[in-house]
Amino acid sequence: MPEGKSVNKIFAGIAGRYDLANHLLSGGVDFYWRRVLTRMVKACTPKDMVDLATGSGDVAFKLRDRIGTGIPVTGLDFCEPMLKEARAKRASKASYSDIKFEFGDCMDLPLDDNSVDAVTISFGVRNFENRLRGLREILRVLRPGGSLFVLEFSQPDKWFSPIYYFYLKLILPWVAALATGDKSAYDYLAGTIEDFPSKEALTEQLKEAGYETVEATGLTFSIVAIHEAQKALQR
């Protein structure tokens, strides 16, 4: 698994062009993935929400758009340049003004035990230095009955896999180099995606971390998956 310090450095280096590269490289499908994620979060009617590894804040903003004002949203990340992007975007809409963007490392969250109803993390778990430790740390801060929603790259359906990996390894880093000026960051991305578990294997890891129920939904030929993992009501 990647070292936290080098992950931080990679994102600090591309922070200013992260959004552009994201939308370009996914062909805009990332908007759809975040829409599905926020719809699932809304269905669990949370009283408060924390978006981890929030980066430039897109999930936090979409949560606010879908669920409305009155439900607190906080975005946490350990990379200050990414948080700076999120804070700058907050000014684009009045309803975003009370979304907090603060420093927080998923290995050691600045949150109390049993204090949050819904935690989201989109394209963050893959970068954890220690996945099991991070998943357990999130479990600690969830209220009993609360849910973690993980949107992350997954292993694509078998028939689609050759096309996908051809794009990921041979085309994407070069397009990303044009968009961000940093090819190595996207070589890193391709490597972490290839090493990441299938949705079935991640389901098992979430259960090993202590979540009571886990449901996985593959999207776009399972290029990505959303895992909804619930903390037991009585612990």
Ligand X SMILES: C[S@@+](CC[C@H](N)C(=O)[O-])C[C@H]1O[C@@H](n2cnc3c(N)ncnc32)[C@H](O)[C@@H]1O
Which residues form the interface with ligand X (CB under 6 A)? 4, 7-8, 11, 22, 53-55, 58-59, 77-79, 82, 105-107, 122-124, 127-128
Output the six-digit token pair for 13: 């280096």
Residues making up the chain, counted from first to last: 235
Which residue number, 38 or 147, has a Cβ lying nearer to ligand X?
38
Which residue number, 149 or 164, has a Cβ lying nearer to ligand X?
149
Which residue number, 25 or 216, has a Cβ lying nearer to ligand X?
25
CB 233 to ligand X: min, Å:
28
CB 117 to ligand X: min, Å:
19
Three-state DSSP class for 120? strand
CA angle 126, 74, 15 (to 5 degrees): 50
d(CA 114, CA 141): 5
User: What crossing angle do the helices spanning 18-25 and 80-90 adopt, rounded to 10°?
Assistant: 80
b/e map of 31-45 (b: 16 or more CB within 10 Å)?
eebbeebbebbbeee
CB 234 to ligand X: min, Å:
29
H or E stretch covering 25:
helix 18-25
| Residue showing the smallest CB distance to ligand X in the complex | 55
Which residue number, 106 or 223, has a Cβ lying nearer to ligand X?
106
Backbone Cα Rg of the chain: 17
CB 104 to ligand X: min, Å:
6
CB 53 to ligand X: min, Å:
3
Contact in structure between 100 and 83 (CB atoms under 8 Å) = no
CB 81 to ligand X: min, Å:
9
Which residue number, 134 or 146, has a Cβ lying nearer to ligand X?
134
d(CA 63, CA 76): 14
The residues, ordered by sequence, that sit 6+ positions from 123 with a Cβ below 8 Å of its Cβ are 53, 55, 151, 152, 153
Which residue number, 102 or 212, has a Cβ lying nearer to ligand X?
102
Which residue number, 46 or 124, has a Cβ lying nearer to ligand X?
124
CB 47 to ligand X: min, Å:
22
